[in-house]
């Protein structure tokens, strides 16, 4: 366990100009701090045999990596490699939140300091361009590998099913493929489960036990991450044209995780709709007249005179309905409608197809129900 205590990071300071050596500071490639960061992030593979020389495996000290990188970027140098190491540490320490923050940092540094950013770009020097672009390839590979082990499930009732990752899913899928090609495949799966290994059945059970709110949070975070990647790639394309990196590895892993999470989330919503539909006023066919006459004048009634007032009223109604019955689909549909206030029809149609919020999923489920 690291002896380094994490402290709150002042993000604006990370991207603020430096005073020494120009706004981007000085190049520290051969400074002691580079070696210190490398040593802090170095870790040994515990799966390798040590033979007769048994020693404690070296573990990476990610809080120390974070501390050294933050200090360097804030006070000494705007260095793309150090920003990459910091993002890697954030992904390990804070998972998706760290990935989003790191991609935002790298985008800001590239936007603000591209000509002066380290490693420096020399005029008409293709080698310096390749050196800088190779850093983005490094980021794509290492960020994707770290995200591969980011926890997706959370089950208080069964800790063994908590913190399962895409790596576990891929391992379970591979086991399933092997089992199908093996005559004794069923026993192979049973044996794996008895040994505590993750199978597809165990992974699916973990997703079933994971709360819908947790899955929704992850889907929202992945949406932010993919949007951040799009922004970074767009910025890099403007800077280096056709040489801009695509971050395909990180993007593909993120999209595969989204596919798995979205499938589970939609199944949960569909099940909730089936269970709650008979009791929801939404599905009643009769209208009950009010028992008391509606007064002609009421000082508490809000007058709607402008378009924005109408949307605000819908937002208030949605919040009120959600407080009464969080399982009803109505509040989520109202929230979705409110989010369309300033969007065109084209933007709304795109939003329906790509969105991950409860309202988006409900609309797609209702559309499928109408088709069938």
Q: What is the pLDDT of residues 311-320, one digit of tens each?
A: 788 888 877 7
- DSSP code of residue 118: B
CB-side exposure of 364: number of CA atoms within 13 Å? 20
Contact 98, 92 (CB under 8 A): yes
Interacting residues of 304 by C-beta distance below 8 A, sequence separation 6+? 310, 313
CA 162 from centre of chain: 18
Q: What confidence category does residue 346 fall into, taking pLDDT thresholds of 50, 70 and 90?
A: low
Q: What does the alpha-carbon distance between residue 72 and residue 4 come to, in Å, rounded to a whole number?
A: 16
CA 175 from centre of chain: 27
Span between the terminal Cα atoms of the chain, in Å: 55
Instruction: Give rounded-to-5 percent helix, strand, coil for the chain.
Output: 65, 0, 35
CB-side exposure of 306: number of CA atoms within 13 Å? 4
Kind and range of the H or E element at 85? helix 80-113
Segment 348-365 mean pLDDT? 73
Q: What confidence category does residue 280 fall into, taking pLDDT thresholds of 50, 70 and 90?
A: very low
Mean pLDDT of the chain: 84
Q: What does the alpha-carbon distance between residue 119 and residue 319 come to, in Å, rounded to a whole number?
A: 51
Higher pLDDT, 205 or 122: 205
pTM for the model stands at: 0.73
- DSSP code of residue 81: H
Top mean-pLDDT range of 2-6, 206-210, 287-291: 206-210
Nearest Cα residue to 210 out of 168, 255, 156, 262: 156
Q: What is the pLDDT of residues 55-84, one digit of tens each?
A: 667 899 999 999 999 999 999 999 999 999
């Amino acid at each position: 366990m690291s002896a380094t205590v994490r402290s709150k990071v002042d993000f604006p300071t990370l991207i603020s100009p430096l005073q020494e050596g120009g706004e981007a500071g000085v190049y520290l490639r051969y400074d002691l701090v580079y070696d210190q960061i490398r040593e802090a992030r170095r870790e040994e593979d515990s799966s390798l045999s040590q033979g007769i020389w048994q020693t404690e495996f070296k573990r990476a000290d990610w809080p120390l990596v974070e501390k050294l990188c933050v200090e360097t970027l804030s006070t000494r140098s705007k260095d793309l490699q150090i920003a990459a190491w910091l993002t890697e540490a954030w992904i390990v320490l804070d998972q998706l939140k760290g990935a989003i923050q790191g991609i935002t940092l790298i985008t800001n540094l590239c936007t603000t300091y591209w000509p002066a950013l380290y490693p420096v770009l020399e005029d008409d020097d293709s080698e310096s361009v390749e050196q800088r672009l190779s850093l983005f390839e490094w980021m794509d590979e290492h960020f994707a590998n770290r995200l591969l082990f980011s926890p997706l499930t959370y089950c208080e009732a069964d800790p063994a099913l908590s913190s399962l990752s895409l790596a576990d899913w891929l391992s379970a899928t591979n086991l399933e493929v092997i089992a199908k090609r093996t005559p004794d495949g069923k026993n192979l799966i049973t044996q794996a489960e008895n040994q505590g290994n993750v199978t597809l059945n165990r992974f699916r059970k973990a997703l079933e036990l994971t709360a819908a709110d947790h899955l929704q949070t992850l889907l929202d975070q992945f949406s932010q991450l993919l949007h951040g990647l799009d922004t970074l790639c767009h910025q890099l394309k403007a800077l280096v044209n056709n040489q801009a990196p695509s971050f395909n590895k990180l993007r593909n892993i993120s999209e595969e995780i989204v596919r798995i999470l979205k499938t589970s989330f939609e199944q949960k919503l569909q099940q909730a709709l089936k269970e709650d539909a008979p009791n929801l006023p939404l599905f009643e066919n009769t209208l009950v007249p009010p028992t008391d006459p509606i007064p002609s004048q009421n000082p508490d009634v809000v007058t709607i005179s402008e378009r924005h007032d109408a949307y605000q009223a819908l937002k208030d109604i949605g919040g009120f309905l959600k407080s009464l019955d969080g399982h009803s689909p109505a509040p989520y549909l109202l929230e979705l409608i409110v989010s369309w206030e300033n969007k065109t029809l084209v933007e709304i149609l795109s939003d329906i197809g790509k969105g991950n919020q409860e309202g988006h999923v409900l609309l797609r489920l209702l559309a499928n129900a109408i088709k069938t």
